[in-house]
Structures are given as C-alpha cells and as structure tokens.
Amino acid sequence: MLFRYGARPLRAPGTRFALTSLAVSLTHIESFVAVAEEGHVGRAARRLHLTQPPLSRHILALEDELGARLFERTPHGMRLLPAGEAFLSHARRILAEVDAAKHTVQSVVGNRPGG
C-alpha cells in the first residue's frame, strides 16, 4: 500500500521521505498506461478519446504527485524513464484490480455485462 490516512506518515519502502497522502486518480493511471503503451501522446489521446492537452496535463499531474519524471519527451514521442518502467507494472495491476472489483460487484447485483 502506498498511502494511508492517519496521524503517522507512512514511509515508502526504499525512500528517505514519508508520504502523508497520495492523491493519484484512476484517470491519471489510465492515461499513464496508454502513453506508455503507445509511446506517443497523440496516439494515446486518440485511444482514450481525449485531446492531447488534457492527456498531457494528466501525465504532468501524475509526475508531480509521484515526485518523479516518468517519461522522456523526445521528438518522436515519449520514452519511459526508469521511474516510469517501475510504475508501469503497478499501474497495470491497479487497473486490473479495479476492473475485477467492478465485475465482482456487477455479478453480485446481477448486472453482468452480456447477461
């Protein structure tokens, strides 16, 4: 777990600082994964049905929240930096868990897609 609410800050493993909160949105994580997989903001924006400016803002906000640059901006697109490589597997797992939770809830209430 990267964050918790309470009086004591949580020290992230391998860091020298304490995280008191981390407000990363699922939209920012989805945006990050799309850019990482596409390697280009324009293609990722099309994939997410967004325009480039808001997608770029999502990436910048995520980088700001995490305190690390995730991408190198190149003339040909975006390349993951080591911090981005490290975050990508976590981001994919987060999105998979949210999707699994959604399907679990839908099956409990009987609203399975296609059913």
| Cα atoms in the 13 Å half-sphere on the side-chain side of 78 | 27
Where are the domains positioned within the chain?
Answer: 22-93
- What tens digit of pLDDT does each residue of 25-57 get? 999 999 999 999 999 999 999 999 999 999 999
What is the reported pTM?
A: 0.76
Q: Cβ distance 114 to 74 under 8 Å?
A: no
Q: Is the dihedral of CA 17, 19, 23, 25 positive or negative?
A: positive
Looking at domain 22-93, which of 3.40.630.30, 1.10.10.10, 2.40.50.140, 3.30.465.10 is its CATH number? 1.10.10.10
